């Protein structure tokens, strides 16, 4: 009975979208029959309601290639997006209906984005649940500190699905080639890190031999006015170069872990801690011939750092810098590399961090068969500890609507951030129908 109800929930958005498409086609035919050549432009903009509907159905399945060869992921999702526009105002809503065969608590209907926009002249105001992207880095965070990430399945998802929306008020004003942006998030959002041991991507502490429990919720800040996030960004789009300056009063979205002995003295209690911090950053993008050069830098003032057993998190200033380059040599080839370095200042005695850490990425992609087949590989490289996560994929477009993809995720690490996933190498397949 529960399964039948779930499939009804999954199919309902599709039926709604099909009906909406039929209505839009009718509206389009009727509008095409009207001669708007002599209609006043202002009257047309104010009185016409424009509706855009799109979405997709995808299914993704992955099997571990090491050890038990068990299922790592099995999910089917329908996403629907609706945008209503009238004059300078618009409404955008995006929803997911998901059935997850492995992580049952991820099955259901999710409101992804829902926001109102008002854009007129040089002014743009947006309020509601939205995804905010700052910076120019590819799949790395330096100044991109507004929207947190969902690590329920770690990086074994599309990067766009990992990024989480926030409930924010966002305003932009453009003057010539300069855009001023201000943002306010009344209630801070944080990374989602799974702790359920039934999840193959759950947070684990490989170096801890004691039994332990993890609590990432009780340390979160209260939902009160003084704990809101706020900041701004200035972006200049000049001839041949784009750059921006940003500032954000926020929190460490990724928790710092503190360890204490439980009352029985035979187990550990791991608690996630969050502290107020300030981010000041800058980024730039510069096209040079076949290359696009990118750079970002940011200082995190008072970023929370984990400490040893029985000690609360400590705050230290950290300095982050990224340099990257994309190369487009032609014939549908693309090469991309990035390196991000982090320096933690102050006294590090008793802290579970390095003074210097480095993380790099590398991407190679090639399109074949008149762009129907795309081969790619994308790797995260933990320079500090020698670990790696590499995703190989091959996708083929049967037509404009249907795309089939297969790939292999490879993990290797003896220590560092990828160590807990070193047994999670997997093969996967994905099918997607866009409408």
At 118-138, the pLDDT tens digits run 999 999 999 999 999 999 999
- State the pLDDT confidence band at 267, using cuts at 50, 70 and 90: confident
For 251-284, the DSSP string reads E-SSPEEEEEE-TTSSSEEEEEE--EEEEEEEEE
- State the pLDDT confidence band at 21, using cuts at 50, 70 and 90: very low
- State the pLDDT confidence band at 46, using cuts at 50, 70 and 90: low
Predicted pLDDT at 24: 39
- State the pLDDT confidence band at 18, using cuts at 50, 70 and 90: very low
Phi-psi region of 308 (alpha: psi -120 to 50; beta: other; left: phi over 0): beta
Predicted pLDDT at 200: 92
Predicted pLDDT at 13: 42
| R_g of the chain computed on alpha carbons | 24
* Length in residues, the chain: 435
Please write down the HEC assignment for all residues of 74-113: EEEEEEEEEEEEECCEEEEEEEEEEEECCCHHHCEEEEEE
pLDDT over threshold 70, residue 198:
yes
For 289, the token pair is 């011939």
- C-alpha to C-alpha distance for 366 and 335, rounded to whole angstroms: 9
pLDDT over threshold 90, residue 236:
yes
Predicted pLDDT at 380: 97
Predicted pLDDT at 43: 41
At 410-426, the pLDDT tens digits run 999 999 989 999 999 99
Contact 137, 324 (CB under 8 A): yes
Q: Minimal CA–CA distance to 88: which of 114, 125, 58? A: 125
Q: What whole-number percentage of the chain has pLDDT above 70?
A: 89
DSSP annotation of 165 reads P
pTM of the complete model beyond 0.85:
yes
53-84 in b/e burial notation, b at 16+ Cβ within 10 A? bebebbebbbebeeeeeeebbebbbbbbbbee
Mean pLDDT of 362-384: 97
pLDDT over threshold 80, residue 25:
no
- C-alpha to C-alpha distance for 62 and 408, rounded to whole angstroms: 9
Mean pLDDT of 32-59: 67
pLDDT over threshold 50, residue 388:
yes
């Amino acid at each position: 009975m529960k399964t039948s109800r779930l499939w009804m929930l999954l199919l309902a958005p599709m039926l709604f979208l099909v009906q909406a498409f039929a209505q839009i086609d009718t509206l389009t035919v009727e509008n095409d029959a009207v001669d708007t050549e002599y209609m006043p432009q202002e009257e047309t903009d104010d009185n016409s309601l424009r509706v855009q509907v799109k979405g997709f159905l995808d299914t993704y399945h992955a099997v571990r290639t090491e050890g038990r060869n068990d299922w790592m992921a099995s999910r089917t999702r329908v996403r629907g997006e609706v945008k209503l526009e009238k004059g300078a105002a618009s409404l955008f809503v995006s929803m997911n209906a998901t059935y997850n065969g492995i992580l049952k608590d991820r099955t259901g209907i999710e409101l992804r984005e829902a926001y109102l926009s008002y854009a007129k002249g040089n002014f743009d105001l947006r309020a509601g649940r939205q995804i905010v992207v700052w910076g120019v880095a590819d799949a790395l965070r330096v100044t991109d500190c507004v929207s947190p990430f969902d690590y329920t399945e770690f990086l074994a998802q599309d990067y766009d699905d990992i990024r989480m929306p926030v409930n924010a008020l966002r305003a932009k004003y453009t003057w010539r080639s300069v855009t001023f942006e201000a943002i306010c998030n009344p209630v801070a959002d944080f990374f989602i890190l799974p702790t359920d041991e039934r999840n193959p991507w759950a947070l684990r502490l490989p170096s801890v031999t004691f039994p332990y429990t993890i609590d990432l919720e009780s340390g979160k800040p209260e939902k009160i006015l003084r704990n809101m996030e706020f900041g701004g960004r200035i972006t200049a789009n000049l001839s041949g170069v784009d750059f921006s300056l940003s500032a954000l009063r926020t929190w460490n979205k990724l928790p710092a872990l503190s360890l204490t002995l439980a009352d029985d003295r035979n187990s550990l209690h791991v608690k996630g801690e969050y502290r107020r911090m300030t981010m000041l950053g800058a980024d730039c993008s510069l096209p040079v011939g076949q290359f696009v050069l990118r750079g970002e830098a940011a200082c995190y003032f008072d970023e929370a750092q984990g400490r040893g057993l029985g000690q609360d998190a400590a705050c230290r200033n950290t300095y982050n810098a990224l340099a990257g380059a994309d190369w487009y040599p032609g014939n549908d080839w693309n090469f991309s590399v990035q390196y991000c370095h982090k320096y933690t200042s102050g006294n590090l005695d008793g802290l579970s961090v390095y003074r210097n850490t480095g993380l790099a990425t590398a991407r190679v992609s090639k399109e074949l068969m008149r762009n129907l087949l795309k081969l790619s590989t994308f790797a995260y490289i933990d320079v500090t500890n020698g670990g790696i996560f590499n995703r190989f994929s091959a996708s083929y477009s049967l037509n404009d609507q249907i795309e089939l993809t297969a790939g292999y995720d490879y993990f290797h690490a003896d220590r560092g951030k990828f160590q807990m996933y070193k047994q999670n190498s997997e093969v996967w397949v994905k099918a997607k129908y866009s409408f």
